[in-house]
Amino acid sequence: MKWSKGIIYLCRLIFLINSVYLICILRFDRLVLLLGSLLLTFVPELYTKWTKVNIPIGARLFYTLFIFAAQWLGSYLGFYGYIPCWDVLLHATSGIFIGYVALIILVSLDRSQTLFKQNKIGVIVTFVVAVGIAAAGIWEIIEFSGDVFLGTNAQLGSLQDTMEDIICGTLGSGAFAVYIGLVMKARRRSCIDQLLQINGDKNK
């Protein structure tokens, strides 16, 4: 747990140091990217504060590393250009994580964890896939809006890039949904258990 928090703080420190550097060289265009990314790393803590739903440290670490890979490595250091499959890999990975976010949302809405206790696999799997597809589409809307209004080039002016991203995100969340369905049907321990456990005491 300590090393997980340490990595999260390290990523935040890198974002902060680079932001200070960009201020010094008056690169305010790129500063918005890094400061925005830094603020995004605090979303899990803010979500817990607002909803009282605890998020496992492993999920928080995964989320922070994803932002780091997408924004600092991908956009700031240019990995999207250096590694052709970087964008596809991140979108597929985001689909998996969004699937987990769907579980967090379910726990937020179903505080008594009735769906999980009654093993409502169909409902849970459908919700995970639906959230994954919706998130993939919303993200492309955000990228399109940035390209139009801020002059960015996130979609590379290409319908193919947009559709590849949506498909990768959908497949990622779909794969995660299949995994969830299988482990729930087999009643095996999975990433669900820790999420339910750390949010279960308040429901007793």
In a domain, 40, yes or no: no
In a domain, 191, yes or no: yes
Which residue range(s) make up the domain with 188? Answer: 84-203
Q: How many structural domains does the chain have?
A: 1
| Each residue's pLDDT expressed in tens, for the chain with a length of 204 residues | 789 999 999 999 999 999 999 999 988 878 888 898 999 999 999 999 999 999 999 999 999 999 999 889 988 898 888 888 898 899 889 999 999 999 999 999 999 999 999 999 999 999 999 999 999 889 888 778 766 775 555 666 677 778 888 899 899 999 999 999 999 999 888 899 999 999 985 544
In a domain, 126, yes or no: yes
In a domain, 12, yes or no: no
In a domain, 102, yes or no: yes
Q: What is the 3-state secondary structure (H, E, C) of 172-199?
A: HHHHHHHHHHHHHHHCCCCHHHHHHHHC
In a domain, 103, yes or no: yes
In a domain, 11, yes or no: no
Contacts of 174 (CB under 8 A, 6+ apart): 95, 129, 132
Tell me the whole-structure pTM to 2 decimals.
0.88
In a domain, 129, yes or no: yes
